[in-house]
Amino acid sequence: MVDFTQSWIETLSRVSASTIVTAGDRHPAFAPVALDAGVLKFRTVAKNRAERGGRIILIGNGGSLAIAMHLATDFALAGWPSIAFGDPVAITSHTNDFGSESNFTKQFELIKLGYADMVVAMSCSGKSANIIDAVKFARAANNYVVTLTGFEPDNPLRLLGALNFYVPASEYGFVQLAHESILHAACDIENGWSP
């Protein structure tokens, strides 16, 4: 008899460990980085941004937004000032007034996205128009952008970050939990966790 739960957990572990990381401001898809090095890079940038008075701003839709809200709290506890754009009033009013593609971009404008800020954008498909629009806005403002995606390897969001984590899976649960694990790893290492 197949142990479905054990198999599912093993698949999650394999998929998470298979995450492909790319880095570089010009052509990130062509600059591979080891997963551990990518997580440590995230940690270093987050720490440096916090020391310069910057914030980590996390965005996502649906389950990715739930992860963003959770990790914003954990990052703040690690000493990295963080916020997630999860206020339903802000999201729905900006969507109503400015269109769904601009709901995060408008929030960036209102909080006066600063040069020292770091934007963390999550989208399982890497095709969410509001996330892509927000990332383009952040890049134009010279912000450091981290993307976390899945599904298709050539998704457009994956090509927009200075640091990109691509999870090679097409199931939402695996992609989202891998994203959360990656971000938790950066935070937990900052808090002193070691193997």
Question: pLDDT tens digits, the chain, 195 residues: what are they?
Answer: 578 999 999 999 999 999 999 997 655 456 889 999 999 999 999 999 999 999 999 999 999 999 999 999 999 999 999 999 988 888 888 888 888 888 899 999 999 999 999 999 999 999 999 999 999 999 999 999 999 999 999 999 999 999 999 999 999 999 999 999 999 999 998 888 887
Examine residue 7 and state whether it is found in any structural domain, yes or no: no
Q: Is 36 a domain residue?
A: yes
3 found inside a domain: no
Q: How many other CB atoms sit within 10 Å of the CB of residue 88?
A: 7
Q: Is there a domain that residue 70 lies in?
A: yes
Tell me which residue range forms the domain holding 142: 18-190
- Flag whether 175 is in a domain: yes
Q: Total structural domains in the chain?
A: 1
CATH number for the domain that contains residue 88:
3.40.50.10490
Residue 195, in any domain of the structure: no
Q: Assess if residue 95 is contained within a domain.
A: yes
Burial class (CB in 10 A: 0-12, 13-18, 19+), 132: buried
Residue 25, in any domain of the structure? yes
In whole angstroms, what is the distance from residue 163 CA to residue 145 CA? 7
Query: What is the end-to-end Cα distance of the chain in Å, rounded?
Result: 33
**Any residues with CB less than 8 A from the CB of 57 and at least 6 apart, and which?**
82, 83, 84, 85, 108, 111, 113, 117, 118, 119, 120
